[in-house]
Each structure stands twice: as structure tokens, then as C-alpha cells.
Amino acid sequence: MADEPKPLPDRLSLDPRSPYFDEEVLSRGVGIRFNGQEKTNVEEYCISEGWIRVSAGRSRDRYGNPMTIKLNGKVEPYIQEPAQPSADEGAASEG
């Protein structure tokens, strides 16, 4: 039996200065489903409190950090699977 990977934390942040930053978990690739929709611009999430923080366009605060908006709803994090090359791609390049 291989070592089981750490389960996804209740709260996770992309900001390395945050106490909720976990590089080991982020390196596995974390996806977020918020209210049934895939979100790709999530900066931080909390499952127990039911919120995510998303970047507000290209706006920056006075320290150069992205401005964020807190949205409430159902948060479902998951581990993203690495893309597997299909058998058709390998056969097409052999010609």
C-alpha cells in the first residue's frame, strides 16, 4: 500500500504569505467547483464556511496584490487529474 496523499484541507490559499498556504497540496493540482460550476480564478476557499475568494478582474491593491471578491455558496474542491495522452494521438504522429 502506497502512502496515502494528504486529504484536501478545509481552507486553502494560493498566497504564500497566508497561514492557509500548502505547497504540497497545491502541487497536486486543486480544482474548485462552486455552486456546480468550475472556477479557475479562485484565490482562496473555505469549505466549512462556504465561501471562495476570486480575483476581481485585473484590479490590484496598493501593494500590488490582486483585488478579491468573497462569494458565498457550496464549495467542492477536488484533485485535478493529469491529462493522459490518448492512443489516437500516438498513432497519428507515427506516419
Domain ranges (residues) in the chain: 25-80
* Residue 87 CB partners (closer than 8 Å, separation 6+): none
The predicted model scores a pTM of: 0.76
| Spatial distance between the Cα atoms of 77 and 59, rounded to a whole number of angstroms | 25
Q: Determine whether 14 is exposed, middle or buried from the number of CB atoms within 10 Å of its CB (0-12, 13-18, 19+).
A: middle
Q: What are the beta bridge partners of residue 12?
A: 45
Indicate the pLDDT class of residue 81, thresholds 50, 70 and 90: confident
| Spatial distance between the Cα atoms of 20 and 47, rounded to a whole number of angstroms | 13
The pLDDT, as a whole number, for residue 80 is 86
CA–CA distances in Å: residue 37 to residues 13, 34, 54, 90: 19, 5, 14, 32
- The whole-angstrom distance between residue 43's C-alpha and the CA centroid of its chain comes to 8
Residue 29 has pLDDT above 70, yes or no: yes
The pLDDT, as a whole number, for residue 42 is 94
CA–CA distances in Å: residue 22 to residues 18, 51, 63, 76: 9, 18, 23, 18
The pLDDT, as a whole number, for residue 2 is 56
